[in-house]
Amino acid sequence: MNNFNVIKTDKNTRARLGEMKINGVKIKTPAFMPVGTQGTVKTQSPKNLLEAGVDIIVSNTYHLFLKPGMDILNNAGGLHKFMNWDKLILTDSGGFQVFSLADLRSIDEEGVVFRSHTDGGYYKFTPERVMEIERTIGSDIAMIFDECIPYPSSYGYTKNSTERTLKWAKRAQKHFCNIENPYNKEQLLFGIIQGGVFEDLRKYSTMETVNLGFDGYAIGGVAVGEPKSIIRDIASYTSNLLPDDKIRYLMGVGHIDDVIYSVGVGVDLFDCVLPTRLARNGTVITHSGKLVVKNGRYKDDLKPIDDKCDCYVCQNFSRSYLRHLFNVEEILAANLATYHNIYFYMSVMKEVRKAIEEDRYSIFAREFLDKFKGDK
């Protein structure tokens, strides 16, 4: 059974319109997944997300493992029921978090020992253990446990790490097949391509990962501090090596212009904390670019955030009101700004899919980016 189908490829670019169906939930791609690290997309209820058009979110193995922990999630019947979200959930494996948030104690072939950033306790993640955790979370899509290296890293270190991630992927895959999903649901497993900024290593990682045969493939180890041009080069190069009939997920990207670019080179799936994090810090995203709405210059501005946006926030509140809410540190500020930013990303992805459907993706992308100034 194929969970993903390419419906159409754009005539002049590599952009694809696709459909993914898991556990009876069907979503269209290219799609952007808001991040709900701790079992909630920060400040938003599931009702808000549905209104904004969200049908798939990302949650995080590392965070959920620490809090609320496996017992509570298992007791609730998995993350979907716990947070009352009946659309799709993809769980990142925690690789990125273990290597960025936690205090790393040791890494060897077996796995990683780390000290939690919340309770200070020591824990061990192995490729097998992470599969068990993701089974307990009960996401629709689980990611294998990978080593996520910083930028820049030497060729030698990147090569060794890429080899390790491959070995871990094999072990993860094997173990995943041996343990059942406790909620009797379908759960896909995606491989993650590493290889840093080196084309030959990316190619090697792609070939070997694809040989193992996963339900989908993520381009990992990007958006870790390298320049935009390198992210785009990796996306373009690696996407080209991946099989046409499997979904392609560019992890941690991101800025709307990078999303627009990467769709053009054949990427189907994206996630990033950017729209939600920016919102909490007082920045909203519009068709003209970013707008720091908490800024005093908007104190008298009665226009909506984006006059082309038909979201609840743009239809009902002024920049002046939003700026006031941020100025007096009202929680509603983060709430409304996040709602708009998510809605904006969802709207752009709708425009993206329509443009592919109508074979005018390159024109759409050029026009969109001409207007969008904030992210360049």
User: Of 42-50, 135-143, 205-213, 250-258, which segment contacts its own copies by CB under 8 A?
Assistant: 42-50
| Tokens of residue 363, six digits | 């024109």
DSSP for 284-339? EEETTEEEETTSGGGTT--S-S-TT--SHHHHH--HHHHHHHHHTT-HHHHHHHHH
- Per DSSP, 87 falls in state S
Q: To the nearest whole angstrom, how small is the minimum distance from the Cβ of residue 330 to its own copies?
A: 5
Contact assessment for residue 301 and residue 320, using Cβ atoms and an 8 Å cutoff: yes
Q: Which of 10, 92, 215, 306 is catalytic?
A: 92
User: Of 123-131, 142-150, 323-331, 345-353, which segment contacts its own copies by CB under 8 A?
Assistant: 323-331
Say how far apart CA 201 and CA 195 lie, in whole Å.
Answer: 5
| Sheet with 103-107, edge to edge strand ranges | 103-107, 112-115, 122-125
Q: Which of 140, 257, 268, 271 is catalytic?
A: 271
With CB under 8 A as the contact rule, the residue among 9, 116, 295, 318 that binds its own copies is 318
Q: To the nearest whole angstrom, how small is the minimum distance from the Cβ of residue 264 to its own copies?
A: 35
With CB under 8 A as the contact rule, the residue among 5, 38, 153, 362 that binds its own copies is 38
- What element of type H or E holds 143? strand 141-143
Q: To the nearest whole angstrom, how small is the minimum distance from the Cβ of residue 302 to its own copies?
A: 7
**101 near its own copies, rule: CB under 8 A:** no
**39 near its own copies, rule: CB under 8 A:** yes
Residue 113 exposed, middle or buried by CB count within 10 Å (0-12, 13-18, 19+) = middle
Active site residue 92: yes
| Tokens of residue 149, six digits | 């290296």
Site residues (CB under 8 A) for its own copies, limited to 132-161: none
Active site residue 86: no
Three-state SS for 35?
A: strand
| Contact string (CB under 8 A) for its own copies, positions 254-293, x = contact | --------------------------x-------------
Q: What's 196-259 look like in SS3?
A: CCCHHHHHHHHHHHHHHCCCEEEECCCCCCCCHHHHHHHHHHHHHHCCCCCEEEECCCCCHHHH
First to last CA, the chain: 41
**307 near its own copies, rule: CB under 8 A:** no
Assess whether the previous peptide bond of 34 is cis (omega < 30° from 0). no
**Residues recorded for the chain:** 376
**345 near its own copies, rule: CB under 8 A:** no
User: Of 12-20, 90-98, 121-129, 328-336, which segment contacts its own copies by CB under 8 A?
Assistant: 328-336
Q: To the nearest whole angstrom, how small is the minimum distance from the Cβ of residue 325 to its own copies?
A: 6
**295 near its own copies, rule: CB under 8 A:** no
With CB under 8 A as the contact rule, the residue among 317, 326, 344, 361 that binds its own copies is 317
Q: To the nearest whole angstrom, how small is the minimum distance from the Cβ of residue 143 to its own copies?
A: 21
Site residues (CB under 8 A) for its own copies, limited to 56-95: 63, 67-68, 71-72, 75-76, 82-84
**φ, ψ (nearest 5 deg) of residue 174:** -60, -45
How many chain residues interact with its own copies (CB under 8 A)? 39
With CB under 8 A as the contact rule, the residue among 13, 44, 173, 347 that binds its own copies is 44
Say how far apart CA 167 and CA 332 lie, in whole Å.
Answer: 47
List residues binding its own copies (CB under 8 A).
Answer: 38-40, 42-47, 63, 67-68, 71-72, 75-76, 82-84, 280, 299-300, 302, 312, 316-318, 320-321, 324-325, 327-328, 330-332, 334-336
Query: Catalytic residue positions?
Result: 92, 271
